[in-house]
């Protein structure tokens, strides 16, 4: 009798330790997302250096008040973006442990961070465009129809992309939340 009970216990432990295919795929997905996060971080650093550094160089070459305002506003926007990005990615780089539930928790945190990024990005874009168009109008006295057309097209494309991405992340979040609920119920 003792041998059967012990074998049954081992069988239960062995089955519990096997990863479900969905969770194995989740670990691969987390690894891909981690790589993507590193690429985005490198891109953010490059944008900071090129755009931020570029406006400083322009202000140094042409130090009239409008250029100084442009450089200051650019760095203000960069600081806001970095502050948001760093706080939004806090605790999103790696799972707390190497368990299925930790990978699920990390994936859910990342989904929620991506949803916050969509909202922040849309707001930052609107504020930046308002500033830039106002600055151009102040400096030139008019806004060309070509500029307005380009800004409108870029805004529409960005809006469509953000809506698509937000919908995708909401779907991912619902899927991951259901998976987490199912895993919790099974434990």
- ∠ CA 125-67-57, nearest 5°, is 95
Compute CA 51 distance to the chain's CA centroid, rounded to the nearest angstrom. Answer: 20
pLDDT per residue over 37-48, tens digit each? 999 999 999 999
Mean pLDDT over 81-94 rounds to: 95
Task: Look at residue 176 and tell me whether its pLDDT is greater than 50.
Answer: yes
Helices (H), 48-144: 53-61, 65-88, 100-140
Please state, for a pLDDT cut of 70, what percent of the chain lies above it: 87
Distance, in Å, from the CA atom of 170 to the CA atom of 101, rounded to the nearest integer, reads 20
Q: What is the pLDDT of residue 1?
A: 46
pLDDT of 102-126, one tens digit each? 899 999 999 999 999 999 999 999 9
Task: Quote the pLDDT of residue 5.
Answer: 64
pTM higher than 0.85 for the full model? no
């Amino acid at each position: 009798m003792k041998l059967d009970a012990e074998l049954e216990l081992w069988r239960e432990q062995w089955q519990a330790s096997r990863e479900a295919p969905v969770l194995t795929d989740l670990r691969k997905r987390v690894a891909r997302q981690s790589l993507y996060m590193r690429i985005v971080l490198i891109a953010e650093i490059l944008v900071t250096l090129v755009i931020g550094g570029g406006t400083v160089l322009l202000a140094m070459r042409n130090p009239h008040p409008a250029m100084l305002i442009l450089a200051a506003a650019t760095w203000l926007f960069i600081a806001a973006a970095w502050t948001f990005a760093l706080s939004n990615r806090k605790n999103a780089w790696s799972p707390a442990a190497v368990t299925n539930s930790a990978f699920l928790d990390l994936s859910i945190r990342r989904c929620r961070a991506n949803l916050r990024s969509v909202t922040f990005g849309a707001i930052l874009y609107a504020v930046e465009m308002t500033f830039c168009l106002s600055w151009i109008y102040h400096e030139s006295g008019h806004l060309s129809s070509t500029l307005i057309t380009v800004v409108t097209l870029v805004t529409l494309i960005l809006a469509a992309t953000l809506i698509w991405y937000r919908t995708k992340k909401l779907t991912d979040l619902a899927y991951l939340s259901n998976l987490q609920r199912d895993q919790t119920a099974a434990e």
